[in-house]
């Protein structure tokens, strides 16, 4: 581009251009600091280093911000002091140096043609501001640009400057600084409070108060839109143009957002301690300013600031950047976002645990420092791989089925559980769907969903032979209305359901179950359209496809029969038996399909069938051809079976996803079929899975449902394995090994003992850090409440064999050492004599102690070999002793002899006695929980209550809902509560850690685990985590 061409292009408006002054963003709206950073970036000066006092250095020179200094301190402006910086003439960028600045910027946008830019500026003057340089260069650097275009640009620039001068004259720097905050935070409205003034001070280095806000709003009311109808009033610019004027001539920069974040992060921590009307604004604005200011990494290193942020908005920003999503702090948020929502009552403990689980100890410690008072909640930690996923919903019953609404963004899905519940799942969380009083507690084995007329229609197929359809309205307050329900003549349990969308007919529902019949119903009316097939063998999967102008259904049964059926004529177009393709002919008869999925790929339908013995088959079908069966040999397919298979079209072929019984699911991509991606996160089998291509985003996510009751969302990025630290927020260093609880009308008291040898006491409804009641050299192993003449005392047994008597009422009072015995204490029980108790230990014996005198009275060896694992006393003062050798012994009250004994097939791990009924409850290493009448000895008949998957850790009998109940905890990480008279299992609670002890008081159950403890409360037929104790 030549100077002559530039001259000819704008010569006709020379006079107009020469009269235009340069407007530099020096000191306007506190823009000096921002301008310095923008100037360095635009001129490619290299990285800036803040040297203080408004001076920044860069390789070869320095920039000095003098924009806000008094006039007698030298010329205002930004001074560039070049040394070896190429292309930058030495000058002061003040009013006199505007031509140099204009020349430099125009040259940068004219492909480095400095000579042309300099000649143009010399001829016509510095006609543009720095902020306009790019737009001006696109016009004056274009030889074909018309004079009208140039005049239009000039007039637009003039109008902008005229309005800006008007704003500046009306409110001065006060208005510009406050307005710039609105510009930077847009579209987030600003809370009308002192936060506005403080944020303006943060970016301008000037002090503003509420008085400045009052002056601006009274003098310039027409520039703002104030919403005072909400609980927390907000203010915003009256329109986008005014908001742009508030920006002056300087676009927002990351340095300004960093200044906003610095102030907001400090202010957010205060919101955790006390409530304020501006808390909601800070909570929602923090993720925004952190993202725009490149401060998300800093946010993820401060647990208190993370806790004070809107977790769902923060998760949205984290999920946009795969590299950021694998940051340990990001994983902590994503893995626990469902528990960190603002409505959660235990957010503080959950956030602290989430950070410690990722070994972010310093970030978690900041929460402990800021919040000594916070909810005491069970905390567990596992040393297992962690992946980029997030839990959306969790419950006590396993997730058996998933259905995704196709083609909507953001996605919506539904999850069916083993207790008849349905959760609506979105990309941020899951909520329980209220289906009314018609639903039962049957397993939701089949679930299908589509969008129809602005609402979701879901079909539910249950194990109680019920098939029903519901219409669910979208939105945060979703309501479900039942459209129709069939339970006759469909008298057998269902196993699967799907929705078909025929090309020339209304949508229909295909459902199958134990009866071996695939039923067809109209989706909207529920009209029975007759059976599709009747095979007499349980249907394990039904899918539909449209190919070659034909609608077909693919059906697989438990007898390994697979067929393609015409959806209209009900003709079987192709049939095969998968057993004949089994790798082991001898085991072919046992081949049992467990899941199936199908997808149209090119000119044929691809079908993949997973079997209970771990075999996978891929079947191809095209119209007019038989079924072509291949047995897939893929790594990672377990012998224990495939629970679910999902297919997705990949750019290079077909991606396959399989879910396994061990909590793992695997992705196989066609470009690298032998390289698998293994995803670990569920504590038990993965029973349901779905893959979603989110429309318009290019994002691919997976949903999985596990037997532990969680629905998880996975982003398809590389899996990262991490070693997770065994740390927790219970303030014990290590696991909690013993727990005790007692309740009164006023408060609940929980005592915990850990591997660190500390005994901590918690009181009240709101938790504080547990006060230390006593300290031992060894890990705490057992507790016992003991009534004495001086009041209730706590007997503490430790793994080092020490026994101490402590008081929880005065934590500062040291515990009294009673003695050392048993090579380690394993269990404690009261004695019939006041002030005495029994201890048991690793030596296989028991000892009676006089707590008042502090001496041992009697001892007796009971077990043939191994340790005593449990001890209890009955109403007659007799001692029941359970041993590692499988023995259950009855010892005389004075300990003189063993009165009676019996042997079980496995170790007796837990005992409790209902003295009034002369009934014992025992738990075994086999997982069984039995009741045993003991009035006449221990040889009476036993009755089974329930069974854990692994050995029982502890049992306790208590009164629940006016009836005698038994609660037990097992190594299968389950808490089970059963009614003694009816033998009905009332409650099952899933834990994420291995339980170590159990205690009961009134309607409270306290459970300790290898990494924490929890307090459950029974009320109105439900069980829920209770608030915890606090120290005095």
Interatomic CA distance for residues 29 and 179, integer angstroms: 8
- Please give the pLDDT value at position 672: 59
pLDDT average, residue stretch 890-905: 90
pTM (2 d.p.) = 0.47
Distance (Å, whole) CA 19 – CA 127: 8
Tokens of 958: 């208590």
* Closest to 393 measured CA to CA, from 605, 708, 752: 708
- Mapped to the 3 state alphabet, what secondary structure does 45-82 carry? CCCCEEEECCEEEECCEEEEECCCCCHHHCCCCEEEEE
The residues facing 448 across adjacent strands are: 459
Contact between 183 and 247 under an 8 Å Cβ cutoff? The reply is yes
- Greater confidence (773 vs 400) lies with 400
What is the reported pLDDT for 72? Answer: 40
Burial 488-503, CB ≥16 within 10 A → b, else e: eebeebbbbbbbbeee
The enclosing H or E element of 170 equals helix 147-185
Do strands 995-1001 and 736-743 pair parallel, antiparallel, or not at all (unpaired)?
unpaired
Residue 660 pLDDT grade (very low, low, confident, very high; cuts 50, 70, 90): confident
Task: Answer yes or no: are the C-beta atoms of 339 and 346 closer than 8 Å.
Answer: yes
Asked if 928 contacts 944 with a C-beta cutoff of 8 angstroms, the reply is: yes
Q: Is 504 exposed, middle or buried (0-12, 13-18, 19+ CB in 10 A)?
A: exposed
pLDDT at 876 exceeding the cut of 60: yes
Instruction: Quote the distance between the C-alpha of residue 95 and its chain's center.
Output: 55
Would you report the helix, strand and coil content of the chain in percent, each value rounded to 5? 25, 40, 40
Find the length of the chain.
Answer: 1032
The pLDDT-based confidence of 120 (bands split at 50, 70, 90) is low
Selected residue with higher pLDDT from 409 and 976: 976
Over residues 908-936, the pLDDT tens digits come to 999 999 988 999 999 999 999 999 999 98
Cβ count near 1032 (within 10 Å): 12
CA–CA dist 219, 215 (Å, integer): 6
* DSSP for residue 221: G
Bridge partner residues of 513 (DSSP):
494
Dihedral angle computed from the Cα positions of residues 161, 166, 168 and 172, in that order, rounded to the nearest 10 degrees: 180
Enumerate residues 6+ apart whose C-beta is below 8 A from 699. Answer: 693, 715
Angle between helix axes 254-273 and 147-185 (nearest 10 degrees) is 20
* Mean pLDDT to the nearest integer, 640-646: 80
Q: Which of 32-36, 615-619, 803-807, 814-818 has the lowest mean pLDDT?
A: 32-36
DSSP 8-state class, residue 36? H
Q: How far apart are CA 300 and CA 610, in angstroms?
A: 41
DSSP state of 1026: P
Task: Read off φ and ψ for residue 550, nearest 5 degrees.
Answer: -135, 135
The torsion angles phi and psi of 656, rounded to 5 degrees, stand at -120, 140
Name all domains of the chain by residue range, CATH numbers in brackets: 3-163 (no CATH), 170-370 (no CATH), 389-715 (2.130.10.10)
Under DSSP, the state recorded for 717 is S
Q: Please state, in angstroms and rounded to a whole number, the distance separating the CA atoms of residues 773 and 778.
A: 15
**99, 114 in Cβ contact below 8 A?**
no
Q: What is the pLDDT of residues 145-182, one digit of tens each?
A: 444 455 555 555 555 566 666 666 666 788 888 888 99
When comparing pLDDT for 477 and 387, which is higher? Answer: 477
pLDDT at residue number 675 = 54
412 Cβ neighbours under 8 A, 6+ residues apart? 404, 405, 424, 425, 426, 456, 474
Tokens 């080092």: give the residue: 800
The span from the first CA to the last CA of the chain, in angstroms, equals 80
Write down the pLDDT at residue 798. Answer: 87
Mean of the pLDDT values across residues 867-880? 92
Contact (CB, 8 A) for 1013 and 999? no
pLDDT of 520 > 80? The answer is yes
Rounded to an integer, the average pLDDT of 834-850 is: 88
- Contact between 307 and 332 under an 8 Å Cβ cutoff? The reply is no
């Amino acid at each position: 581009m030549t100077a002559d061409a530039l001259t000819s292009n704008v010569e006709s408006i020379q006079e107009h251009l020469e009269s235009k002054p340069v407007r530099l963003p020096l000191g306007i709206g506190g823009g000096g600091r921002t301008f310095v950073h923008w100037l360095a970036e635009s001129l490619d000066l290299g990285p800036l280093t803040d040297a203080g006092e408004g001076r920044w250095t860069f390789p070869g020179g320095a920039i000095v911000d003098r924009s806000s200094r008094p006039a007698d301190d030298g010329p205002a402006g930004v001074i560039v002091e070049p040394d070896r910086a190429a292309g930058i003439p030495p000058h002061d960028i003040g009013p006199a140096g505007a031509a140099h600045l204009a020349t430099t910027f125009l040259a940068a946008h004219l492909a480095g043609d400095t000579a042309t830019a300099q000649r143009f500026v010399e001829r016509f003057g510095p006609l543009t501001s720095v902020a306009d340089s790019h737009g001006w260069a696109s016009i004056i650097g274009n030889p074909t640009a018309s004079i009208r275009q140039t005049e239009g640009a000039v007039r637009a620039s003039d109008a902008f400057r005229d309005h800006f001068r008007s704003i500046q004259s009306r409110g001065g720097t006060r208005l510009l600084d406050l307005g710039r905050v609105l510009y930077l935070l847009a579209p987030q409205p600003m809370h009308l409070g002192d936060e506005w003034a403080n944020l303006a001070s943060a970016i301008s280095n000037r002090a503003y108060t509420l008085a400045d806000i009052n002056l601006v709003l009274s003098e310039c009311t027409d520039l703002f839109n104030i919403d005072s109808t909400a609980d927390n009033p907000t203010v915003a610019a009256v329109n986008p143009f005014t908001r742009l004027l508030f920006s002056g001539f300087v676009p927002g920069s990351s340095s300004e957002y960093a200044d906003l974040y610095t102030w907001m992060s400090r202010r957010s921590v205060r919101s955790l301690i006390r409530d304020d009307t501006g808390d909601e604004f800070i909570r929602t604005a923090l993720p925004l300013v952190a993202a725009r200011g490149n401060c998300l990494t800093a946010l993820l290193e401060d647990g208190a600031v993370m806790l004070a942020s809107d977790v769902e908005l923060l998760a949205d920003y984290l999920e946009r950047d795969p590299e950021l999503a694998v940051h340990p702090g990001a994983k902590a948020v994503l893995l626990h976002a469902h528990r960190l929502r603002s409505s959660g009552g235990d957010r503080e403990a959950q956030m602290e645990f989430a950070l410690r689980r990722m070994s972010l100890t310093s970030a978690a410690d900041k929460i402990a420092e800021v919040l000594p008072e916070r909810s005491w909640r069970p905390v567990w930690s596992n040393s297992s791989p962690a992946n980029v996923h997030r839990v959306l919903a969790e419950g006590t019953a396993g997730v058996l089925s998933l259905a995704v609404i196709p083609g909507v963004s953001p996605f919506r899905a539904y999850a069916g559980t083993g207790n008849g519940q349905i959760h609506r799942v979105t990309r941020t969380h899951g909520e329980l769907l209220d289906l009314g009083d018609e639903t039962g507690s049957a397993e939701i084995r089949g679930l299908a969903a589509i969008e129809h007329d602005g609402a979701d229609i879901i079909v539910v197929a249950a194990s109680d032979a019920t098939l029903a359809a519901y219409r669910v309205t979208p939105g945060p307050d979703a309501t479900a209305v039942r459209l129709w329900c069939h339970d006759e003549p469909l008298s057998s349990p269902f196993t699967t359901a799907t929705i078909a969308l025929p090309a020339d007919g209304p949508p229909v529902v295909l459902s199958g179950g134990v009866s071996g019949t695939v039923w067809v119903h109209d989706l909207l009316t529920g009209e029975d359209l007759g059976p599709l097939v009747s095979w007499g063998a349980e249907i394990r999967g039904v899918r539909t496809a449209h190919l070659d102008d034909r609608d077909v259904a693919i059906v697989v049964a438990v007898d390994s029969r697979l067929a393609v059926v015409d959806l209209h004529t009900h003709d079987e177009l192709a049939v095969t038996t998968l057993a004949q393709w089994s790798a082991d002919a001898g085991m072919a008869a046992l081949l049992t399909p467990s899941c199936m999925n199908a997808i149209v790929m090119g000119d044929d339908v691809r079908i993949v069938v997973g079997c209970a013995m771990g075999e996978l088959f891929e079947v191809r079908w095209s119209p007019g051809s038989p079924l072509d069966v291949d047995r897939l040999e893929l790594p990672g397919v377990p012998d224990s079976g495939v629970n679910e298979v999902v297919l997705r079209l990949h750019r290079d072929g077909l991606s396959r996803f399989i879910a396994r019984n061990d909590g793992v699911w695997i992705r196989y991509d066609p470009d690298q079929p032998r390289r698998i991606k293994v995803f670990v996160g569920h504590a038990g089998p993965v029973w349901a899975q779905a893959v979603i291509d989110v429309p318009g985003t290019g994002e691919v996510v997976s949903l999985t449902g596990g037997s532990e009751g969680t629905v998880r969302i996975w982003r398809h990025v590389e899996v990262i394995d991490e070693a997770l630290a065994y740390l927790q927020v219970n303030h014990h260093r290590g696991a909690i090994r013993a727990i005790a609880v007692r309740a009164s009308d006023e408060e609940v008291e929980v005592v915990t003992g850990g591997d660190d040898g500390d005994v901590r006491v918690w009181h009240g409804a709101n938790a504080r850090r547990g006060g230390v009641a006593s300290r031992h050299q060894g890990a705490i192993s057992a507790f016992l409440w003991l009534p004495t003449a001086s009041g209730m005392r706590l007997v503490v047994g430790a793994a080092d064999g020490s026994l101490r008597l402590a008081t929880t009422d005065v934590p500062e009072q040291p515990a009294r050492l009673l003695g050392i015995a048993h090579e380690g204490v394993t269990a404690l029980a009261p004695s019939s004599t006041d002030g005495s108790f029994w201890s048991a230990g690793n030596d296989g014996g028991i000892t009676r102690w006089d707590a008042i005198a502090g001496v041992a009275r009697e001892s007796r060896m009971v077990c043939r070999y191994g340790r005593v694992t449990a001890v209890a006393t009955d109403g007659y003062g007799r001692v029941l002793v359970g041993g590692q050798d499988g023995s259950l012994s009855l010892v005389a009250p004075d300990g003189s002899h063993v009165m009676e004994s019996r042997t079980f097939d496995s170790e007796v791990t837990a005992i409790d006695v209902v003295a009034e009924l002369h009934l014992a409850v025992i738990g075994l290493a086999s997982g069984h929980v039995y009741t045993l009448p003991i009035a006449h000895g221990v040889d009476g008949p036993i009755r089974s209550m329930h069974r854990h998957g692994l050995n029982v850790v502890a049992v306790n009998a208590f009164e629940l809902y006016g009836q005698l109940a038994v609660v037990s905890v097992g190594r299968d990480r389950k808490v089970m509560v059963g009614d003694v008279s009816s033998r009905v299992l009332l409650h099952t609670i899933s834990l994420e850690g291995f339980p170590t002890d159990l205690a009961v008081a009134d309607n409270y159950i306290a459970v300790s685990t290898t990494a924490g403890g929890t307090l459950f409360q029974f009320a109105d037929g439900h069980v829920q985590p209770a608030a915890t104790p606090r120290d005095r």
